[in-house]
Amino acid sequence: MNVSIIVPLFNPDEKTLKEILDSLKNQKFKGKKEIILTEEGIGLADNINKGIGKATHELVITLHQDCIPASEKWLDTLLSPFKETTVVAACSDVYDIESGNTYTPVLDEKGCAYRKNILLDIGLFDNKTFLNSGEDWDIYMKLLKKGKIVYPGCIVNHNHPGYLEAQGYKKPQNANSWGCLVRIYGTSIPGWWKPLLKANIFNWTYFYWFWRGFILKRQDFKRCVE
């Protein structure tokens, strides 16, 4: 198997980026790999799509600019499920360095692999509806209809100092995207009721941005963060 690894950039930390590139260079992987750094898009989804447009291999990986593969076998482990033809995507676990916690996202682009032809078939990441948040859940819902999404147990280290403090402006961004997602997918999206419960008048900021996303059917909170 051959793979194109897309790293979307937005004012990256040069030291962390070097660690990522060094880790990718040292991967124990027998196939061909190309690394595509892209910062041409308007918003995260658009940036990723630009990278996919440049990809020359049948499998593509999205790797955030602050996520470092944790071992030399990361790439091989992440791609191994694609030997099964029904697998359309694979997702890394994430170790958050700041909090010390490890979690398994549904499909959050921090270290995820996809079949390029399937992404093209569903129209790539929705950069019209989602500016910088929510496109990961959207692609997850679409890919569920195309085949299996698997979690092979490989890990990326999320190195984003200040990320926990950044939750102050992540909250309205996430509320905005969840309002949009609930409008599009309704009760079919996992955990749909949790943001809906938060979106009450006593939680004004969340309330405003959730219902803005719901009414507009678009995520437009403009502060672009990872």
Place of tokens 């995260």: 44
Assign 224 a pLDDT band (cuts: 50, 70, 90): very low
Please state the domain extents for the chain.
Answer: 3-158, 167-216
The fold of 3-158 is Spore Coat Polysaccharide Biosynthesis Protein SpsA; Chain A (3.90.550)
Please write the tens of the pLDDT for every residue from 89-123.
999 999 999 889 999 999 999 999 999 999 999 99
The pLDDT of residue 223: 58
Phi-psi map region of 125: left, alpha, beta (phi>0 left; psi -120 to 50 alpha): beta
Assign 163 a pLDDT band (cuts: 50, 70, 90): low
The Cα 92–Cα 165 span in angstroms is 24
Tokens for 125, please give them: 């990441």
Contact (CB, 8 A) for 5 and 52 = no
Assign 167 a pLDDT band (cuts: 50, 70, 90): low
Assign 171 a pLDDT band (cuts: 50, 70, 90): confident
Assign 225 a pLDDT band (cuts: 50, 70, 90): very low
The pLDDT of residue 213: 97
The pLDDT of residue 165: 57
